[in-house]
Structure 1
Amino acid sequence: MRILLTNDDGIFAPGLEVLERIARQFSDDIWIVAPSEEQSGAGHSLTLSSPVRLRQHDERRFSVSGTPTDAVMMALRTVMPDAPDLLLSGVNRGANLGDDVTYSGTVSAAIEGTLAGIRSIALSQVYAKEGMGDTVPFGAAEAWGQQVIAPLLDAPFAPRTLVNVNFPPLDAGAVKGIKAVRQGFHDYARGSVVEGTDPRGYRYFWFGLHGIEHTPGHQTDLEAIQDGYVSVTPLQLDLTHEASLGDLAGRYAR
């Protein structure tokens, strides 16, 4: 089985090292193509206004001067001799839960793989404390990664779907298990914008990533993480709201 690894935290991110160790439990045919720098929050953006540069680090390890989407496109169209059987994106430093998946470069890399017809899984490690930087513990992801991925290798993936996995901010032994749950949603009206002044006296603004109140419903990814479980959520690329389609069609009928 040929596996492509990527992320949005960059080629030297500790979470990518964790992902490689997880992946090697399934195969030795591992290819890594990741952004050269951190691209958190890049979403499904594609670099169009500047050239993308490719750097080779060893036989099957490359970095790309662009977004996670760029990295996957370069992997599939330039780097790899044949398409992979599986794409794993992560392990992200931080949660990708609820509506946050729309911002996530980690999830978007998996979306790009899905668009190419490749079985794709995004993996993220939730952490509890602010300001942890590179000290975020990945113990839960490392211990539970194989158990999460193995059942997905032969599971039926509907066309244009992917799986989003989040590991709770707990020691590996404290994780209660794995739950398949739906996507939750955040209350972004209560999100924060942090204002400050730089050394030259100019104002700046920084979007706050914590303290956003959320409303977890029954069996959502938010609730599963809060309860100490690994969350596994199937996502679909078709965003059409079917219930509204008939009404809109009627409004434009002549």
Structure 2
Amino acid sequence: MTTPYLFDRVLVTNDDGIDAPGLAVAEALAASLAREVWVVAPEHDQSGVAQAISLHQPLRHYARGERRYALSGTPADCVMFAIAHWFDQQPPDLVISGVNCGANLSDAVMYSGTVGAVVAAAHLGVPAVALSQAYQVRDRIDWAAVEAFGADVIRKLVRRQPDAVCWNINFPPLPAEQIKAARITRQFGGSVPRPVLKAGHDGRGLPYHWLEFRHDPQGVTHAQSDVMAVREGYISVMPLQTSRCDEDRAQAGWQIGEIALR
């Protein structure tokens, strides 16, 4: 008898927190793919923490239902904690991170906690996908595109490229019927031209600075970019890697030879 599921066990996490509406969307998607779904998500919003892990404070987990936990840590912590605490002998077949409230494209990929969770999983040899839903109005997000196509995109990626372990998937802010297709994309910078500091004073009169970014997605125009795919109504599917090494430059360096110090 064949199973209707592609996976035996899927772990779901995010960076928006355990109560985020996008997490519920990811849980439902995971339930259509796996016999067993576990959720381990940050207790609070952890957006922008990338692949950070907690080394200077303990981690605490709180049950929020059957196989569902909130963790006092980052998205990467959630993945590592779950694998070490519950799945040491049998890691999950897939990690799904998201669905993020807002796109993770261009420069934002480097800072995203949603993406950080899947890179952490891939470092441990577990296939992983980051899911993000772009929006036009934050308090009126339409999750229909990811609900309609998310599971199917994951199935096709796993079947066509089973050795690829890490993906960043972004859904356009469009009704599901207006989505054209999915497109393999690449990462190009230019959407965050510079950081900005907003100065203020706290209740004791002491100065502080609030860090934010000026976003300019219109600055990314390359035809193969993730930004252009979403702008043109396509689901952006970007393969990620765990290495930060620039392989082309490293190889060129080997060809040049040693760097003389004297």
**Cα distance in 2 between the residues matched to 1:96 and 1:187:** 11
Q: Which residue of 1 aligns with 2:174?
A: 170
Identity %: 38
1:173-252 to 2 correspondence within 5 Å? Answer: 173-189=177-193, 191=194, 193=196, 195=198, 197=200, 200=203, 202=207, 204-208=209-213, 210-211=215-216, 213-245=218-250, 246-247=252-253, 250-252=257-259
- Distance (Å, rounded) in 1 between the aligned partners of 2:175 and 2:111: 27
* Distance of aligned partners of 1:203 and 1:6 in 2 relative to their CA distance in 1, 3 Å threshold: closer
1:8, CA displacement in angstroms? 0.5
User: Secondary structure in 2 aligned to 1:232?
Assistant: strand
Which digits, 9 at most, give the CA deviation of each residue in 1:71-98, with x for residues without a partner? 0011100033621111111101111112
CA contact (8 A) 2:10 2:92 kept: yes
TM-score normalized with structure 1 length: 0.89
Cα deviation code 1:211-252 (max 9, x no counterpart): 455223122111100101101111112222233223376352
Tell me which of 18, 36, 44 is aligned to 1:11: 18
For 1:157 and 1:253, locate their aligned partners in 2 and report how far apart those are by CA, in whole Å: 43
Give me the whole-angstrom Cα distance separating, in 2, the residues matched to 1:178 and 1:209: 28
The amino acid across from 1:32 in the alignment is V
Separation in 1 of the partners of 2:208 and 2:120?
Answer: 37
Equivalent residue, structure 1, for 2:147: 142
Report the counterpart of residue 119 of structure 1 in structure 2. 127
Could you say which residue in structure 1 is the equivalent of 2:4? none
Distance in 2 (CA, whole Å) between partners of 1:157 and 1:238 is: 19
Specify the code of the residue in structure 2 equivalent to 1:193. Answer: V
Distance of 2:213 and 2:93 partners within structure 1: 37
Give the partner amino acid of 1:127: Y
In structure 1, the residue matched to 2:101 is 93
Give the conservation status (yes or no) of the 8 Å contact 1:192–1:211. no
TM-score of the aligned structures, taking structure 2 as reference length: 0.86
Q: 1:60 aligns with which of 67, 92, 95?
A: 67
- Post-superposition shift, 1:55? 1.0
- Which whole-Å CA distance do the structure 2 matches of 1:209 and 1:104 have between them? 16
RMSD: 2.2
- Separation in 1, partners of 2:86, 2:123: 18
| Post-superposition CA distance 1:178-219 (Å, at most 9, x none) | 111222222533x46263646756564340354455223122
Helix, strand or coil for the counterpart of 2:97?
A: strand
Cα separation, 2, equivalents of 1:209 and 1:90: 23
User: What is the alpha-carbon distance in structure 2 between the residues aligned to residue 219 and residue 6 of structure 1?
Assistant: 28
Distance in 1 separating the partners of 2:21 and 2:214:
20
Other-structure match for 1:102: 110
CA distance in 2, matches of 1:170, 1:194: 33
Inter-CA distance 28–243: structure 2 relative to 1 (3 Å threshold) = closer
Offset, 1:136: 2.4
Unaligned runs of 5+ in 1: none
